[in-house]
Structure 1
C-alpha cells in the first residue's frame, strides 16, 4: 500500500496591518510534493477552514524559472483549491497517514500558530511515533504543541525555521505577531540556521521523526528527508 502524507496549509490570506495578501508559499509545497509523489506517496491536503487555501501571490513570479514550482502552479491548482477541513482528520489521522507536513508562507503565523485542532493533530502524530515535518514559517505550528508531560514539543530539540534576519529582509517584522526564531529559542529549542541568508538548511531530529527546513530553498530537502524517514 502506498504511504500517505497529510499536508496542512494555512487558511489565512490577508495581512490587514500591511494591506497585503499572504498565504502559503509556492515552492514550499511544490518541491516536497514533487519529491513525495515521485516515490509513490499519496498526498492529502487540509487547512483549518477547508476549501481554497490561499497561495501567496508573491511566491509565483520569483519561481517562474523553477520547473517544479511553475509546473505545480500550472497543473496542480486542485491540490490547494479543494482542501479538506482540518477538523475531519482529528482523532485518527495518525492511524490513516504515515506523516504530516506543514509548508510555510507568512499565513501560518496568523492561524496555525494558535490553531488548537492543528496542535492536537501534531500531538497525535508525535504520540504515534510518526514523522512531523515543516518548512520556513511552517514550524510555527509546532510552537504550541505540548507533549504528554506538559513540556514543549521543541524543547531541547534541534530545529530550524525562517530566521529573524530573513524575516527582516522581507520587511514584515512589524506585521508579525512574533518572530519565529525567537519563539523557538524561548521554548528551549536548539535553533540552527544556514550561514547565509536564504541558504538551504534542513534539520532532522529524533531519527527522522521531526524534520524542519529553514526557508523556500529547503523545501526539496525536507521532502527528501521525509522520504527517507518513511523508508522509501
Structure 2
C-alpha cells in the first residue's frame, strides 16, 4: 500500500481589501503533485475550512504542461473542490505535509488551530513538514509539543520581503512572511528575487517561490526515502 502525503491549499479567495481574487498558486500544486505521485505516494488535499478552493487566476499558466494536466484532471479538481478539513485528519498518518503557496495562505493559514495541530502531530511523530512560497505562512505560529516555535533555530526560506515588494503586494498582505519568520527565530536563507532556493533543516523543508516548488517537493521525497526505506518509487 502506498504511503500518503497531504497537500494543504488555501481556501481564501480575496486579496485583502482590494477585492481582487486570490487562492492557491497553480504550479505550487501541480509540480509537487507530479513529484509525489511519480515517487509512489497517494495524495490527499486539505484546506483550512474544508470544501471548495480555487486557484489564483493569475497563476493559471497553461503553457506549463503540469498546470494543464492538473486543471484538466477531473478527479483532482473535484478533490480540490471538496477538500478535507484539518480536524478530519490525523497528522501522524502522513509521511509529509506540504503547504502550497498562493497569497490566500497569508489570511487563512497562520492562525488556524487545526493546521497547527496537524503540523505538531506530524512533526512530533517523526514525519516531514514542508511548505513553499507563501505556504510557510502555516509555520509562523506552529509550535512543537514542548511549546517552542517549529521554525526557531532552523534554516528556512519563504517568499521574501523583496519579492513581495516586487509584486506590489507588500502593502496588501497582513504581514511580511520573511520578516515574521525571522521574528520567530528562524534563520532565513534567500536566493535573488524569483530564483530557486530550498532549505532542509531536520525534518522541515521549505522553498522560496514558485520556481522552487518542484525542487522543494523532490527534497521532501528524498528526506522521506532516507528516513523510511519502505517507500518504493514507481519504475
Normalising by structure 2, report the TM-score: 0.92
Any idea what the Cα deviations from partners look like across 1:14-45, whole Å, max 9, x if unmatched?
Answer: 12411100111000010000011112110000
Q: How does 1:1-232 map to 2 (within 5 A)?
A: 1-60=1-60, 63-75=61-73, 76-89=76-89, 92-94=90-92, 96-194=93-191, 196-206=192-202, 209-231=203-225
User: Could you list the runs of 5+ residues in structure 1 that have no partner in the other structure?
Assistant: none
8 A contact 2:48–2:85 mirrored in 1 = yes
CA distance in 2 between partners of 1:181 and 1:224 (Å): 23
Partner-residue secondary structure (3-state), 1:53? coil
CA distance in 2 between partners of 1:148 and 1:46 (Å): 22
Normalising by structure 1, report the TM-score: 0.93
Alignment coverage as a number of residue pairs? 224
Any idea what the Cα deviations from partners look like across 1:117-166, whole Å, max 9, x if unmatched?
Answer: 10111000111010001000000101101123322111110000000111
User: Could you list the runs of 5+ residues in structure 2 that have no partner in the other structure?
Assistant: 226-230
RMSD of aligned alpha carbons: 1.2
CA distance in 2 between partners of 1:16 and 1:226 (Å): 31
Summarize the Cα distance change of 1:146–1:161 in structure 2 as closer, same or farther, 3 Å threshold.
Answer: same
